Structure 1
């Protein structure tokens, strides 16, 4: 019956048995036979046919939406089955490098054989726990990585902006230099020190930049951030001011457990390295 329903939707779309048959790679007699079988099975006349035209009957029009839903559901079923059948790897990543994670996922999906990637945005602490528990296959972590993990594909992200609350005296500046931060509270996600910056450090747990931005908006401190994050965040309660602080950067690496090495993981390592070389 599924084949017949597919034929029905094609004839309804084309209003031509010959054109519908060509679409599906069938002969016109085979198409006519399929529609006849469907009409007999339903006990309804679906098309009114003359020598010059083909049109849907009232019953055919009523059933067409249901037929299209059947075809759509079958397509979704087939696509999901294919997705579940292919190897899948789970990757945790910090939001500042989300563009890289997405690029890696596209690379793996386009290779042969394809590897599916389930992405999970997570701060350093959450990602490390997920790795330890086997919830993810690998994670992009700020270095140094926790002991016992293998790392590769190290790269740097420049920190060149300062997140400040709207109304702060630095919010209207065209740029900020380290001397402007004297006496300010600087938020430090994941207890990462900001080398060379004056000010009082306040630790933000879990290396979570999103949570840290909430603290900035609440007036709890200022936050040095990479431009990668600035491009993706749109908030009316914050301003991102260019920060000229020399070689201020965060170093990341792909990390995984040496006990859970698979061919898909090695494909992920290669995809990350390739994405870094071609960006």
Structure 2
């Protein structure tokens, strides 16, 4: 049997209303057209779907058995249409570090609200992986900690303040009200990526690109201390790590949107604008 979505829709509506006239009104049809649609479906499936009298409409046993399948077909058709519409939209691929996930979400919402909308596929990636994906053309743009590789164009710079220190439970600084830069003398400072903490004493130890979660595991293991933004402090709960306010002056991480100048599209320019707008408004 060829799919008869219109007739199946009529079937489910009559089953819901138990009235041909009410179902016809719901779908903007005449009652004779509704009756003809049900008759065509009954002939196609080879069973009677409704018992009809002058006073009432009732589902037959066969109609009751087929109703869930009809509803499932209509839901699949709606999902098909929605997915086809999503795939037909222009789509841009954006890589970003977990630290700026809230910004990435705002960007997606802004581009989805455009007319026509632009879809965004998000990829969580540290600086090294994001830069490689950008080079390989796997993503259209990436939010990278600066300085970005010289081969990329950058715009929409913004700063994330680093104002806390992650220390292991039991460390002498774990109970401090606030840690000053001088308190870090002789300590091992974990450094996500390749950017040492400017102006802080202590010994730098590099960890995976922009991966603060992996760095916190090292903190808990006693491998070092980690300067960390309050953005992450609010989102992380660990029993083996303490977050202490850090007074280290203007300590921050600078990020920028980066892309390849060889792959500029209207969608990419819309993304640049969306990032700039998201940074200026909340």
- SS of residue in 2 equivalent to 1:152: strand
- SS of residue in 1 equivalent to 2:209: helix
How big is the shift at 1:217? 2.4
Gap change, CA 1:220 and 1:16, over 3 Å in 2: farther
Unaligned ranges ≥5, structure 1: none
After superposing on structure 2, the runs of 4+ consecutive aligned residues of structure 1 that deviate more than 4 Å are: none
Gap change, CA 1:254 and 1:53, over 3 Å in 2: same
After superposition, the CA RMSD in angstroms is 1.8
Gap change, CA 1:7 and 1:207, over 3 Å in 2: same
1:115 aligns with 2:118: yes
Q: For 1:56, which of 24, 42, 59 is the aligned residue?
A: 59
1:179 aligns with 2:182: yes
Q: How does 1:98-177 map to 2 (within 5 A)?
A: 98-177=101-180
- SS of residue in 1 equivalent to 2:129: helix
> Normalization by structure 1: what TM-score?
0.93
Question: Deviations 1:141-172 (Å, cap 9, x if unpaired)?
Answer: 11111011100001111112222233433334
Greater CA deviation, 27-36 or 169-178? 169-178
- SS of residue in 2 equivalent to 1:6: helix
> Normalization by structure 2: what TM-score?
0.92
Residue in 1 aligned with 2:192?
A: 189
- SS of residue in 1 equivalent to 2:158: strand
Q: For 1:240, which of 225, 240, 243 is the aligned residue?
A: 243
- SS of residue in 2 equivalent to 1:103: helix
Q: How does 1:16-31 map to 2 (within 5 A)?
A: 16-31=19-34
1:201 aligns with 2:204: yes
Is contact 1:124-1:141 (8 Å) kept? yes
Residue in 2 aligned with 1:6?
A: 9
Residue in 2 aligned with 1:277?
A: 280
- SS of residue in 2 equivalent to 1:157: strand
Unaligned ranges ≥5, structure 2: none
**Count of residue correspondences:** 279
